[in-house]
Structure 1
Amino acid sequence: MRHTSLDSSFQAFEHKTNLLRESIGNTIEENFSSVWETPQGIKFLTRFEKVSKKIQITKLSEKYDRVLKYCEKEVDKIVKMFKRQRDDPPLPRNYSPVAGRIKWCRCLMLNMTETVSAVAAHPVLRARPPSADLVRKYACVRGLIAHYEAELRAVWMNQHLWDVDDSLNNTLLKIDNTGKICANLDHSVKLLIRESDCLVKMGIEMPIVCQSLYAKKNYFTLVNDSLEFLLEDYVRTVRRVKLEVRPLFLPQVVRLSSLLLPGLRTVTWTSEDWASFIERANAAIKSFDVLVTRVHDIYTNRIIYMLSGMQDVTLITLPEDTPWSMEEFIENVESGCRNACVELNRKSLMVEEAVEEVLDLVKKAAQQIKPAEINPDFEFLIADDESQMSGNESSVNESTSSGQQDWSAVWECFESPHRLLSAQGGLSKGMQVILVKYKHT
């Protein structure tokens, strides 16, 4: 009786276990029905094979076929993508043209190799007939991509680099199409350095010229960055000069701009004196910045402040309590005007002293900044020989007899100081005459 009860209990247990296995199998089938058309299909196939030893998995053979069809479809997709995009492929971010194309074809090869290698490593998939066709197609595409990379390498190794020598003989600075001054590191040099940097990381050899350029990568970066910082400081310092004192500073700005002329004419990317050129220009810009700060301080706190105080000087005071007689009024007015005259004279002397100090500062600064060469269009502003201006005296009087002058052209030279160096920039003849008079007043 005990054996019969045990057998029936075991049979019931076995029946429920089978139902549980069948339920687990169905759940797995439902939840993973779409995984076979994904890159993870082969990994899940291996797991399903292990699970099938314990739990019955239906249609396992169909899953093999689905995985092989997906792998074949992936290879076909890569082939079509390669043929469609080989002439103008999407380049990876921050990659140069040649390095980007090689990286692109290597990525296609890597994706395809991972897929085919996973099929070849699986014992069941490898034995199926479609896998042989997949391997043959892969071998054909691999040859095409390898040939494509070989062509790119040949282009890279056999390119003509004579233009690079000419680019290295360019001056450090140039005037661009917009008339602004900028660093003159040729795009071809930047491109070759970037190509070399990317291809070295990819294990591809370089031509000898590119090796030399790549070895000087830090040199070109240092010089280019130094020039950009120099030009940025130059424009910033010149622009911060106040409108009221800009005509006074124009000769100084011309001197300062003239210090950049060697970078536009003589100093090249292979010159050994590039550092001294940049150092001298930076020192002049810093000195000019200090001069501007001191003049602004004097102008604001001594000249404008005193002139504002002169407006508050009282000439006539009126009685507060009792009216004045005529004699008292005349006496108080004379006394008040006398005191006001003394005060105004004192303040005028202080303003005059401040103005003289500004002029003295500017004069001393002019002696410190002596450019090696001067833009001929502005030589009249900084010439020491006043006899050069004697011929313009009559025209000066005629041009300034009409009244107040328009200084907008001068202000524009401060807002766009590159005009002092560009061929299209400069001042009109009338403005030059006005500035000559201003200089000698």
Structure 2
Amino acid sequence: MRTPSSSEIERILGRIKENSQNYFLNNIKFLKCKWENLDEKIEQALTKAHKNEKTLTIMKKILNLSFDESIETIKECFQALCSSIKMIHKDTESSDEHKNILILLQSFSDQLIELCKNAIEEKYHISECTLCDADSSSLSELISTLQWFLQVNEIYHKEFETLKNELNVDSKESEFEYFLKQTFRNLDTFCFCIVRIIKLFTIIRQSQELTQHDLEGIKNVTDIYNSSIVLFNEKCEDLLNSDINIFNEAFYEFCNSVPLCHKALLECIEKNLESFEGIEDALKVLYSFRNILKEEDIRSYIEIKDETILKNTKGEVGDAQTDEQRKLYISLCALSFPEGTNEIPWSQYLYRMINYLQTSESLFKWQESQDLIYINYTKSHTVLNFEEGLREAWFNEIEKAASDLVQPLIIKSEAESIFYVNFNPEILTLIREAKCLLKIGVEIPEKAKEILHQEGCLKRNSYGLQIILCEYNHFYSKIKPVYKSLLMPLLDDLEVTFQPGMENLKWISEDVEQYITSCHEKLKNLEGFINQINNVVENEIECKLKNTSKIVLADLPEDSQSFTTNYFIETQEKWKKCECHKLKIINIEVENSVDKLIELLSSYCLGHNLCPINPEESPKLVKYYNWHMYQALLQLTRQSLRSLKNKLCGTTRGTDSCSTLLFDCCVSIDVTGCIISPSINDLQKTVNLEVSAILKCTKEVYNWGQQEVPENEKTPFYDWIIKDKEIIKLVLLLTGALQGLRPKVTVFMEQFSQYKWLWIENPEENEECKEKIENLPNLEWINNIPDIEKIGALKIETTEIKRILTEKVIEWKKVCLKQ
């Protein structure tokens, strides 16, 4: 309402003063009526706005509902929504407003459908996955979600049906009824699809749960189910958004294939029940199928089978105490239960069978049920007493097995100097038995529980000690006997490290893990030290000794190559000079490596505060490798002399082989006849010089321990080598190696010596020319003489003598013809 201005007030006062009171009162009444009408409209609009706000708040709350809300909360929200609509309907007089309300409700129903679709798609993604690949747990959650939405729809219908009755709307003539049906049409269609989807997913879940049973033929049954599901999925890929006609057609075809699947499943169940030997296995299978399958025809079939098996159970329980059945069941239990506890499952099996009869509803349909109950009650007490006896027998063995836990961790075999883990495997058997007894519900004593509580620690410590001792045995195997005596302080220190495990520490001690860690670190450090020692021994000493024994002091070709004596002497001198220098260096290096080894052993003992090594052991190590150095030199000398002998005289497989050729010779003439150049004596002298040179190669390789002795006073290995019997034998063989060839050479030379008169006598002065010409050698015979003759280690050339003979024969013939 507008506030009057000051000029208006002055005019009013002027009119009052002018006696215009009636005019003023009329204006006041008019303004008051106008204000009251305006205030009433504002009040009505404000009330309507509050109602609309409340209605929108309720609708917003409903649209924001999640699938975790309880049904009671949803019911309260729908009741509040219906109350708001009821108030709006009563306050609205025009039909257009009614239409707007119903249109709003229809939009709300469509939005509720979209809410369900989006929530399901967002959480489960059923439009993107194949139905056969869906997870069983996800299917269970999805079915619960869909059932929740059906409950929401049912509440929605009930509340609006109540609203319609309260509004007293005529269902035949009211336009409100028509719009109300339109409102629920889409929602009812969607819920109709959801009901079928739930049935579809229930069958899919059943098929997946059936695959978890390892039964004969169950895979064929699930394949039939899966093929029907795949056909449905091909026709209707998106379940929530498919056309209703396509969905119905695919669903009807799927429902027609379900009886075939059920028939195959019943045949599979029947076949497996016939294969079971024990009644308990059959009852378990029927119980699991009863929980999985929900169809009435299958459930009725399972109940019939269950009743038949229960009737047979009476006889089995009556004969259950026979030895054959007990042994059979115990043999089956032995696969999963230890030897001390495998009879307890037998007693519990009987007790379960009896209780199953007692609690079965089918039992009370029989006439003799009371007698059977009494018999089973009596047998149950017998079974319980039997189980109690087994438990007591097992409890008596606990103390005996547990006493081994107070024994030392390791023991040592004095005869073999080997450590062993002092862990009784029966303790692990005790732990396994305790686990099995707890699994089947048998109470075990506190001592067994304590051991079971220490299971991880015991296994870890026993395994750790086994690793430690394996590392020790591996470390001990790396120690070479040659220097083992020098490592006695180190081995004694290692045994001191092991000492707590042989005396003080027990399996129940708290410091076992720390003890294992300290032993592991000690072995790790020692193994690194042993590797360092072995590296010196193998790579710097033994490897060089081995290579030394393979050195050859005579450079003899392996093929049929031969030499002149001068060339042979020159090449052998060069070769021996190089090899002698190599031997001298290797000898010094090996000696230094042995000193390095001793120094390394001594420094480690002093650095770790151990007892120093025995001073008497170091010279033994030096003497040991000094002897091996001598043996290597002796071996290479023998091998060099033996290879020279084989080259000169050949091997036992043949002495005339081409591989024995060594020296080049030729046949020449003198006044006495034919001679071979160089002669056999000269060649033997060359061999003797070679033998002497081979022996002298070790003259500059000095014996060990002479670092402070002057060079000219040092004793070489040569003095030892020349005294070896094998060396002496080879030298004697080589000094006469070529003498055996002398007869063969003489025989070969006689074919030329018989014609020595050709170059000794003068044909012009000889009077008996005619007689001589008859004894001349044939030129054809001369040409047929080989140019090279091979005799032992000699390669004799005959080219020169053949030329001389040919010239002399021609000369004699010419002179004789002139005469």
Task: Give the corresponding residue for 1:342.
Answer: 581
Letter of the 2:540 counterpart:
R
State the alpha-carbon separation in 2 of the partners of residues 181 and 287 from structure 1. 19
Task: Give the drift of 1:348.
Answer: 1.4
State the alpha-carbon separation in 2 of the partners of residues 43 and 276 from structure 1. 55
Kindly provide the CA deviation profile for residues 226-251 of structure 1, in whole angstroms up to 9, marking residues without a partner as x.
1111112222333355xxx3332355
Cα gap change, 1:166 to 1:308, in 2 (>3 Å)? closer
Cα gap change, 1:151 to 1:370, in 2 (>3 Å)? farther
Kept in 1, the 8 Å contact 2:347–2:387? The answer is yes
Task: Give the drift of 1:153.
Answer: 4.2
Cα gap change, 1:175 to 1:209, in 2 (>3 Å)? same
Letter of the 1:278 counterpart:
I
State the alpha-carbon separation in 2 of the partners of residues 92 and 35 from structure 1. 24
Q: Does 1:71 align with 2:310?
A: no
Aligned residue for 1:129, secondary structure, equals coil
Identical counterparts, % of pairs: 18
State the alpha-carbon separation in 2 of the partners of residues 333 and 77 from structure 1. 102
Aligned residue for 1:268, secondary structure, equals coil
Unaligned runs of 5+ in 2: 1-265, 298-303, 621-630, 632-819
Q: Does 1:361 align with 2:596?
A: no
Kindly provide the CA deviation profile for residues 129-177 of structure 1, in whole angstroms up to 9, marking residues without a partner as x.
34444333322221111222233445566x4876577533311113589
What does 1:115-194 align with in structure 2 at a 5 Å threshold?
116=357, 120-122=360-362, 126-154=364-392, 159=396, 166-174=403-411, 181-186=419-424, 189-194=427-432
TM superposition score normalised by structure 2 = 0.34
Letter of the 1:72 counterpart:
K
Aligned residue for 1:260, secondary structure, equals helix
State the alpha-carbon separation in 2 of the partners of residues 331 and 97 from structure 1. 87
User: Pick from 338, 351, 360: which aligns with 2:590?
Assistant: 351
Task: Give the drift of 1:108.
Answer: 3.2
State the alpha-carbon separation in 2 of the partners of residues 64 and 279 from structure 1. 61
Kept in 2, the 8 Å contact 1:226–1:278? The answer is yes
State the alpha-carbon separation in 1 of the partners of residues 498 and 272 from structure 2. 68
Cα gap change, 1:43 to 1:324, in 2 (>3 Å)? closer
State the alpha-carbon separation in 2 of the partners of residues 309 and 177 from structure 1. 40
Kindly provide the CA deviation profile for residues 358-416 of structure 1, in whole angstroms up to 9, marking residues without a partner as x.
33333444456778xxxxxxxxxx885669x9xxx9xxxxxxxxxx9xxxxxxxxxxxx
Q: Does 1:229 align with 2:467?
A: yes
User: Pick from 87, 98, 110: which aligns with 2:352?
Assistant: 110
Aligned residue for 1:287, secondary structure, equals helix
Task: Give the corresponding residue for 2:564.
Answer: 323
State the alpha-carbon separation in 2 of the partners of residues 194 and 323 from structure 1. 88
Cα gap change, 1:34 to 1:257, in 2 (>3 Å)? closer
Task: Give the corresponding residue for 2:457.
Answer: 219
State the alpha-carbon separation in 2 of the partners of residues 233 and 260 from structure 1. 13
Unaligned runs of 5+ in 1: 1-27, 52-60, 372-381, 394-403, 405-441
State the alpha-carbon separation in 2 of the partners of residues 262 and 43 from structure 1. 60
Q: Does 1:93 align with 2:331?
A: no
Letter of the 2:352 counterpart:
L
Kept in 1, the 8 Å contact 2:486–2:601? The answer is no
Task: Give the drift of 1:127.
Answer: 2.7
Kindly provide the CA deviation profile for residues 19-77 of structure 1, in whole angstroms up to 9, marking residues without a partner as x.
xxxxxxxxx99x97997997559979x99xx87xxxxxxxxx9x999756522222233
Aligned residue for 1:174, secondary structure, equals strand
Cα gap change, 1:203 to 1:360, in 2 (>3 Å)? farther
State the alpha-carbon separation in 2 of the partners of residues 79 and 313 from structure 1. 86
Kept in 2, the 8 Å contact 1:173–1:181? The answer is yes
Task: Give the drift of 1:225.
Answer: 1.5
Task: Give the corresponding residue for 1:413.
Answer: none
Letter of the 2:347 counterpart:
C
Kindly provide the CA deviation profile for residues 250-297 of structure 1, in whole angstroms up to 9, marking residues without a partner as x.
554743456434422333234444344323322232233323433343
Q: Does 1:208 align with 2:446?
A: yes
Aligned residue for 1:182, secondary structure, equals strand
Kept in 2, the 8 Å contact 1:314–1:336? The answer is no
Task: Give the corresponding residue for 2:245.
Answer: none
State the alpha-carbon separation in 2 of the partners of residues 167 and 156 from structure 1. 17
What does 1:173-322 align with in structure 2 at a 5 Å threshold?
173-174=410-411, 181-186=419-424, 189-241=427-479, 245-249=480-484, 252=487, 254-255=491-492, 256-257=494-495, 259-311=497-549, 313=551, 315-316=553-554
Aligned residue for 1:291, secondary structure, equals helix
Cα gap change, 1:303 to 1:266, in 2 (>3 Å)? same
Task: Give the corresponding residue for 2:681.
Answer: none
Higher relative contact order (CA 8 A, sep 6+): 1
- Greater shift, 148-157 or 63-72, is seen at 63-72
Task: Give the corresponding residue for 2:710.
Answer: none
Task: Give the corresponding residue for 1:396.
Answer: none
Kept in 1, the 8 Å contact 2:409–2:422? The answer is yes
Letter of the 1:168 counterpart:
L
State the alpha-carbon separation in 2 of the partners of residues 64 and 214 from structure 1. 40
Of structures 1 and 2, the larger Rg is shown by 2
Kept in 2, the 8 Å contact 1:36–1:70? The answer is no
Kept in 2, the 8 Å contact 1:267–1:273? The answer is yes
Letter of the 1:340 counterpart:
E
Letter of the 1:136 counterpart:
Y
TM superposition score normalised by structure 1 = 0.57
Kept in 2, the 8 Å contact 1:302–1:354? The answer is yes
Kept in 1, the 8 Å contact 2:602–2:613? The answer is no
RMSD after superposition: 5.1
